[in-house]
């Protein structure tokens, strides 16, 4: 390795350490609370599929890669960290333009990555590898690298995930499907389903194209399973992670409440009668 290459690697490693060190457990806890309240306000419920349970919280070098249908994806990452993986130090890459606008996000685990550049790709790999080398480190990645409708097929992944396998052979990759359908209420549901884990070592001998196709198939299958559950509209197929608001509100719900009281019945705000 030439002297210039050594210097570049040293700079990448130093930048990665600084990015990871910026995360504050106190800041993260505060914003996880803010995001939870926002989800309560704007969704009927956040639901996790019983058919796709999360990986064990103590899984080492845990990398969750998801589809990317909405702005809300980053918020749900923080809530999942707080609810399902307490004690882990979660991080997620974001566009460095967004990072420059919202610098506080570095305090809650985000790190900036320049889009569509070799330098950005190198920074992503170095920082991600450093995160996953930490005993408590955990990484969330919007693997499509852009906003995409959850029904888009075939699922295509940005190349960084495939290259990361070489840097962190001990990682466990877990697909996560996200969807935001409307059911019976005025506000939408936020549905989640984890898929089958893929050990990075199982990908080591595959070509990069074959790695991409395998990881994409796992995510696509998880999205298909979640889509079937969304279509079925069966709340019993999910556990509620965050309960939101139901009903229409205002004068209409006051009238419904009065009718229930007059009939000696409890008032249920949800039209479907389910939380």
DSSP string, 143-162: TTSS---TT-SS----THHH
Query: Domain total for the chain?
Result: 2
- Based on the fold, state whether residues 251 and 234 are members of the same structural domain: no
- Based on the fold, state whether residues 209 and 255 are members of the same structural domain: no
- Based on the fold, state whether residues 124 and 258 are members of the same structural domain: no
- Based on the fold, state whether residues 107 and 222 are members of the same structural domain: yes
Structure tokens at 234: 């069966």
Rounded CA-CA distance 252/258 in Å is: 10
Q: How far is CA 43 from CA 66, 169, 181, in A?
A: 20, 38, 10
**Residue 222 per-residue DSSP state:** H
- Based on the fold, state whether residues 255 and 146 are members of the same structural domain: no
Query: Per-10-residue mean pLDDT for the chain, 275 residues long?
Result: 74 89 95 97 97 95 97 95 95 90 92 87 93 94 94 94 92 98 96 97 94 97 98 97 69 49 55 58
**Residue 7 per-residue DSSP state:** H
| CATH number for position 15 | 3.40.1130
**Residue 63 per-residue DSSP state:** E
Range of the domain at 270: 245-275
Greatest extent of the chain over all pairs of C-alpha atoms, in Å? 83
Rounded CA-CA distance 224/108 in Å is: 31
According to the model, what pLDDT value does residue 233 have?
97
- Based on the fold, state whether residues 147 and 257 are members of the same structural domain: no
- Based on the fold, state whether residues 169 and 259 are members of the same structural domain: no
Rounded CA-CA distance 188/224 in Å is: 19
- Based on the fold, state whether residues 77 and 172 are members of the same structural domain: yes
- Based on the fold, state whether residues 191 and 94 are members of the same structural domain: yes
For the four alpha carbons of 152, 46, 66 and 123, in that order, the dihedral sign comes to positive
Alpha helices in the chain (DSSP H): 3-21, 25-42, 73-84, 96-101, 118-133, 160-167, 208-232, 250-262
Q: Residue 154: CB partners within 8 Å, gap ≥ 6?
A: 216, 220
- Based on the fold, state whether residues 272 and 217 are members of the same structural domain: no
Cβ 219 vs Cβ 157: under 8 Å: yes
According to the model, what pLDDT value does residue 247 have?
53
Structure tokens at 22: 């910026």
pTM over 0.75? The answer is yes
- Based on the fold, state whether residues 147 and 124 are members of the same structural domain: yes
Structure tokens at 167: 């840097």
Name the one residue in this structure whose structure tokens are 């070799």. 118
Strands 45-49 and 110-113, how do they pair? Answer: unpaired
- Based on the fold, state whether residues 42 and 104 are members of the same structural domain: yes
Rounded CA-CA distance 101/275 in Å is: 37
Number of continuous H segments (helices) and E segments (strands) in the chain: 8, 9
């Amino acid at each position: 390795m030439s002297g210039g290459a050594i210097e570049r690697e040293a700079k990448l490693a130093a930048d990665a350490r600084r990015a990871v060190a910026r995360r504050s457990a106190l800041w993260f806890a505060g914003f996880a609370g803010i995001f939870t309240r926002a989800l309560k306000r704007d969704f009927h419920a956040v639901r996790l599929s019983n058919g796709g349970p999360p990986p064990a919280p103590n899984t080492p070098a845990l990398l969750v890669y998801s589809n990317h249908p909405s702005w809300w994806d980053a918020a749900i990452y923080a809530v999942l960290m707080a609810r399902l993986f307490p004690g882990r130090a979660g991080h997620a890459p974001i566009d460095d333009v967004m990072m420059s606008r919202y610098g506080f996000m570095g305090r809650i685990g985000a790190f900036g990555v320049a889009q569509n550049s070799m330098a950005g790709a190198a920074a992503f790999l170095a920082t991600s590898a450093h995160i996953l080398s930490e005993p408590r480190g955990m990484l969330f990645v919007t693997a499509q690298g852009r906003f995409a409708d959850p029904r888009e097929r075939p699922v295509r992944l940005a190349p960084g995930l495939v290259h990361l396998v070489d840097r962190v052979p001990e990682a466990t990759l877990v697909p996560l499907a996200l969807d935001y359908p409307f059911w019976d209420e005025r506000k939408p549901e936020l549905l989640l389903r984890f898929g089958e884990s893929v050990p990075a070592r199982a990908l080591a001998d595959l070509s990069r194209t074959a790695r991409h196709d395998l990881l994409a198939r796992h995510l696509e299958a998880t999205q298909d399973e979640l889509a079937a559950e969304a279509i079925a509209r069966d709340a019993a197929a999910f556990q509620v992670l965050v309960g939101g608001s139901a009903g229409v509100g205002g004068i209409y719900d006051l009238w419904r409440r009065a009718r229930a009281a007059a009939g000696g019945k409890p008032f249920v705000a949800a039209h479907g009668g389910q939380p």
